[in-house]
Amino acid sequence: MPENDITHSEAPRGAIPDVSVVIVSWNVADLLADCLESLRRNSNGLSLDVWVVDNASADNTLDVLRERFPWVHVIANRENRGFALANNQAIERATGRFVFILNPDTIVTDGALRTLFEYLDTRPEVGMVGPRLRLGDGKTQPECARRLPTLGRVLWINSLKLHLIPLIGPWCFKRIAAPYDYETSAEVEAISGAAMLVRREVLRDLGGFGEAFIHCGEDIDLCYRVRAAGWQTHYVSECTIVHLKGQSSKKAPIKTTVNAALSDQEYFRRCFGGWQSLAYRLIIQCIQGPHAVLIGCFRLLLGKESPADLQRRFAVLRGLAAWRWVE
Residue whose C-alpha is closest to residue 157's, from 140, 174, 144: 174
Question: Which distant-in-sequence residues (6+ apart) come within 8 Å of 134 by Cβ?
Answer: 140, 141, 240, 241, 242, 243
In a domain, 299, yes or no: yes
Rounded to 5 degrees, φ, ψ at 45 are 85, -5
97 plus 196 within the same structural domain: yes
Angle at 171 between CA 241 and CA 297, to 5 degrees: 90
pLDDT at 281: 97
28 plus 138 within the same structural domain: yes
Residue whose C-alpha is closest to residue 264's, from 206, 296, 309, 224: 224
Distances (CA, A) of 193 to 83, 84, 127: 10, 10, 14
Half-sphere exposure of 190 (CA within 13 A, CB side): 22
Rounded Cα–Cα distance for residues 134 and 87 (Å)? 23
pLDDT tens-digit readout, 58-110: 999 999 999 999 999 999 999 989 899 999 999 999 999 999 999 999 999 99
| Residue range of the domain that includes 171 | 150-176
Q: Looking at this protein, which amino acid is placed at residue 167?
A: L
- Residue 130: is its pLDDT beyond 90? yes
In a domain, 327, yes or no: no
71 plus 127 within the same structural domain: yes
What is the full DSSP assignment across 18-52?
SEEEEEEESS-HHHHHHHHHHHHHT-TT--EEEEE
pLDDT at 167: 84
- The number of angstroms, rounded, from the C-alpha of 99 to the middle of its chain's C-alpha atoms is 14
SS3 (DSSP) at 66: helix
pLDDT at 255: 87
In a domain, 2, yes or no: no
Query: Of the given ranges (16-20, 23-27, 161-165, 237-241), which has the lowest mean pLDDT?
Result: 161-165
Q: Which of 203, 228, 247 is the last residue of a domain?
A: 247
**Confidence class for position 250, pLDDT limits 50, 70, 90:** low
Rounded Cα–Cα distance for residues 159 and 161 (Å)? 6
Cα R_g (the chain), whole angstroms: 20
299 plus 166 within the same structural domain: no
229 plus 135 within the same structural domain: yes
Query: How many other CB atoms are there within 10 angstroms of residue 19's CB atom?
Result: 27
For the chain, the domain total comes to 3
163 plus 291 within the same structural domain: no
Residue whose C-alpha is closest to residue 309's, from 325, 327, 324, 295: 295
- Residue 125: is its pLDDT beyond 70? yes
- Residue 247: is its pLDDT beyond 80? no
In a domain, 99, yes or no: yes
Query: How many other CB atoms are there within 10 angstroms of residue 70's CB atom?
Result: 10
Residue 113 in contact with residue 15, Cβ under 8 Å?
A: no
242 plus 257 within the same structural domain: no
Average pLDDT over residues 15-39: 95
Angle at 135 between CA 243 and CA 17, to 5 degrees: 25
CATH code where residue 204 lies: 3.90.550.10
36 plus 172 within the same structural domain: no
User: With left for phi above 0 and alpha for psi between -120 and 50, is residue 10 left, alpha or beta?
Assistant: beta
Q: Which of 225, 247, 269 is the last residue of a domain?
A: 247
220 plus 275 within the same structural domain: no
